[in-house]
Amino acid sequence: MNLHLLPPEIEKAHGDFAGHLEACADLDAVMRLKGAYLGRDGSFAARMIDILKAAPKEQKRELGAAINALKNKWEESLKARQSALEELRRQRAAQAQSWDATLPPPLPPRGALHPLTRLIDRLVGIFRPLGYHVEEGPEAETEAHNFDGLNIPEDHPARGSADTFYFKDHPKMLLRTHTSPVQVRVLKRLAPVIEQKGGVRFLAPGRVYRKDEIDPTHSPMFHQVEGMLVGRGIGMHHLKGTLDYAIKALFGPDAATRFRPSYFPFVEPGCEVDARCPLCGGAGCRVCKGAGWVEILGAGLVHPDVLKFAGIDSDTWSGFAFGMGIERIAMMVSQTPDLRLFFENDQRFLAAMGGLD
């Protein structure tokens, strides 16, 4: 090919051609390249025709031959690339249809326990070696168990229909507002045998209900775990030792607890317990709102009236109780900013929480 008769821009275009062609990943790209080199208007071929027309007569033959050779070469190469890509497409389609009976089958996605269930199971596992077993109570409770037996006064705001779901046809029935009524049920059941058993200790996980609007930190249904121990000569030191052990087991050996006096009608004295923020170690962060401590449960020494209500002699027996919100703790340890994620069952969230394979 006598490329020297053609201007440098055409020579360069030819030099680039093989590289451009190589880069064509599909048939559309080949068609575009073809347009640029051989199309009717504006292509290199069109420009060469113009050059041929303008060339002196004596050069026309040789120039014409060079142009034809070049165009033929481009055309052949384009065709070859086109067939190669078509063949590749056929092969891919054939491959997609064929299957290998010796390959292991694709596994269906596996389910797993919900993150809240796993946290509850962990707590149960922490208390089991201390002799605690698991008790359950009904979610549809009586006023007597949810309030009366827990020494909650008649005029306590929590008893109002603004806070508590009551059953329309059963005015003395409600959806329990905490897991504490399980204390009343278990104490009543075990009162006749408490002497033989030497006391009572149990954990009671479950759902509770309150008339709260749904927002990132509230839900009308959430989970609590109640704990109770009744024995002889039980005091605040037993409660502190037990909770300190449990919180270290939950958050790690560096965890620390802080007890603040507080009031709940069913305990005396009552307290709220904070854990040193497990995320920042007390330095202050978003999760603990700079305080370095996060409130994780309410607790106290069982009020004598609670024991009496259940038929247990409060001169002989004493105990402690505690109750914690599971979602609060789950949000904290997983740094989940929105409580609703735990109820929406978005598989992406569950997978991120390690709940799915």
CB of 186 to ligand DAH, least distance (A): 12
How distant, in Å, are the alpha carbons of 92, 93, 99, 104 from that of 96?
6, 5, 8, 17
Nearer to ligand DAH, 45 or 271 (CB): 271
DSSP 5-56: GS-HHHHHHHHHHHHHHHH--SHHHHHHHHHHHH-SSSSHHHHHHHHHHHS-
Coil, helix or strand at residue 326: helix
How many CB atoms sit inside 10 A of residue 187's CB?
24
Q: Using the rule CB under 6 A, is 323 a contact of ligand DAH?
A: yes
Shorter beta-carbon distance to ligand DAH: residue 85 or 236: 236
The CA distance from 77 to 69, in Å, is: 12
Q: Which stretch binds ligand DAH (CB under 6 A): 1-9, 89-97, 247-255, 294-302?
A: 294-302
Please identify which residue in 24, 67, 204, 321 interacts with ligand DAH, judged by CB under 6 A: 321
CB of 192 to ligand DAH, least distance (A): 23
Query: In what helix (H) or strand (E) does residue 289 lie, and over which residues does it extend?
Result: none
State which residue, 74 or 226, has the beta carbon closest to ligand DAH: 226
* Residue 166 DSSP code: B
Q: Note whether 310 and 192 are within 8 A (CB).
A: no
- Judged by CB under 6 A, which of 135, 141, 143, 226 binds ligand DAH? 226
Query: Among residues 208, 277, 280, 273, which one has the least CA distance to residue 246?
Result: 273
How long a stretch of residues is the chain?
357
Q: State the nearest-atom distance from the C-beta of 179 to ligand DAH, in Å.
A: 7
319 is an interface residue for ligand DAH by CB under 6 A: no
CB atoms closer than 10 angstroms to residue 292: 16
Task: Please choose, out of 30-38, 92-100, 198-206, 321-329, the segment that lies near ligand DAH by the rule CB under 6 A.
Answer: 321-329
3-class SS at 206? strand
Instruction: Report how far residue 234's alpha carbon sits from residue 201's, in angstroms, rounded to the nearest whole number.
Output: 12
Residue 143 to residue 211: CA distance in whole angstroms: 16
Selected range binding ligand DAH among 24-32, 56-64, 306-314, 320-328, rule: CB under 6 A: 320-328
Give the contacts of 139 (CB within 8 A, at least 6 positions apart): 175, 176, 206, 207, 208, 209
Question: Do residues 216 and 340 touch, judged by C-beta distance below 8 A?
Answer: yes
Closest approach of ligand DAH to the CB of residue 120, in Å: 16
**Which range, of 69-77, 97-105, 118-126, 315-323, touches ligand DAH by CB under 6 A?**
315-323
- The residue assigned the tokens 């033989």 is 196
Residue 322 in contact with ligand DAH, rule: CB under 6 A = yes
182 binds ligand DAH (CB under 6 A): no
CB of 206 to ligand DAH, least distance (A): 12
- Select from 3-11, 31-39, 241-249, 292-300 the region that touches ligand DAH (CB under 6 A): 292-300
For residue 180, state whether it binds ligand DAH (rule: CB under 6 A): yes
Among 115, 300, 319, 355, binds ligand DAH (CB under 6 A): 300
Identified binder of ligand DAH from the candidate list 67, 267, 296, 330, rule CB under 6 A: 267
Q: Does 222 bind ligand DAH (CB under 6 A)?
A: no
Residue type, 192: P
Determine the interface stretch with ligand DAH among 86-94, 122-130, 185-193, 317-325 (rule: CB under 6 A): 317-325
Q: Name 283's Cβ contacts closer than 8 Å, sequence gap at least 6.
A: 277, 292
Q: Does 206 bind ligand DAH (CB under 6 A)?
A: no
By beta-carbon proximity to ligand DAH, the closer residue of 270 and 278 is 270
Q: How many residues bind ligand DAH (CB under 6 A)?
A: 11
Tokens describing residue 103: 């390959």
Identified binder of ligand DAH from the candidate list 137, 205, 298, 355, rule CB under 6 A: 298
Contact set with ligand DAH (CB under 6 A): 178, 180, 226, 264, 267, 298-300, 321-323
